[in-house]
Chains A and B, each alone.
Chain A
């Protein structure tokens, strides 16, 4: 049986896990930057993925690093409701 396709925050988590094969999970409050799960070369792709997943156009001038630091923050800030 194939796994159901991830939606919402699951898409973001899957993207991170695909880039870090040694990981099996990412905690909702885990710091993605401090733990080097998102680095300077993957950050652009990461932000575009959040935009695509949420359908929210992110104002890049106003985007703070703390807005995308954890999965919980991303969910609350861009994916809730």
Chain B
């Protein structure tokens, strides 16, 4: 990171006491009900409310995602395997800590809470050798998903300035993180592939295919629908995930990620079959 790029996140936001409720808080095209039957059943006020809670859910996902990546990076900084990446990791940790602060600040100021992250189940991360590869692949997928939203909301004039600014600042830093992450994942995968059996490769690819699906589905939080006053939130979530727009939405979100992971061989058409092809987004 260059010195000129440096900003002080603790001072740069104005944080107005409230944000207007009669407007979009998230670009409507990025909300989970856009162009679905569910949206047709809602009034404009309900759609505004939904965008408000969906935006708080989106920033909450960022808070949880950043916590996890900070834990993983901190475990690796200045270890032998990551000696050359450690200088970058210092900047990365610093910037991610700041991002987590302003996302949490937004959630608590304007949503009154950070949405909980539901966690449990067995940890089934495949072979020990793949642990670091999967950590950085997961970080990359998460950052690229978030960036898809940031880029659009940063320039969306229908949104309040505070919302646009948060997304703009985040995108500015994430562009560098994504570029670095892509290179690191490529190197780690080449190292892993040179020693892995076919079975281990299949396991890693299968896991990442599932992780892509999991990441996308975290956008569909039933508590958000409940908070927006929409009846039967679990049924709504299921209808949206099983509905025709899901594939197009998912392909849009991963329209850069999937071709990259496929190009380097980390995801194949077979293992990533749950994720729709890029063509579906066009």
Contact = CB atoms under 8 A, between A and B. Distances in A.
B281 interface: no
A40 B222 CA distance: 18
B80 interface: no
A43 B119 contact: yes
A52 B118 contact: no
Given A41-B210, A41-B211, A44-B218, A68 B238 contact: no
Contacts of A52: 234-235, 238
Nearest to B118: A44
A63 B118 CA distance: 9
Nearest to A49: B234
Contacts of B222: 48
Interface stretch (A4-12, A31-39, A71-79): A31-39
Interface of A: 33-36, 38-48, 51-52, 60-61, 63, 65, 68
Interface of B: 116, 118-124, 207, 210-211, 214, 217-218, 222, 234-235, 237-238
A36 B120 contact: no
A60 B118 contact: yes
A43 B120 contact: yes
Nearest to B237: A48
Contact of B121 (A42, A48, A61, A63): A42
A56 to B, nearest CB: 11
B120 A41 contact: no
B121 A33 contact: yes
Given A48-B222, A60-B116, A41 B234 contact: no
B119 to A, nearest CB: 7
Contacts of B234: 48, 51-52
Among A40, A41, A52, A61: residue with most chain B CB under 10 A: A41
A40 B217 contact: no
A63 B117 CA distance: 12
Contacts of B217: 44-45
Nearest to B115: A60
Contacts of A68: 120
Among B119, B120, B218: residue with most chain A CB under 10 A: B120
Among B121, B211, B222, B234: residue with most chain A CB under 10 A: B121
A45 B123 CA distance: 15
A5 B124 CA distance: 30
B118 A40 contact: no
B250 to A, nearest CB: 16
Contacts of B122: 33-36, 38-40
A49 B227 CA distance: 20
Lowest 4 A-B CB distances belong to which pairs?
Answer: A43-B121, A39-B124, A43-B120, A36-B122
Contacts of A63: 118, 120
Among A35, A46, A60: residue with most chain B CB under 10 A: A60
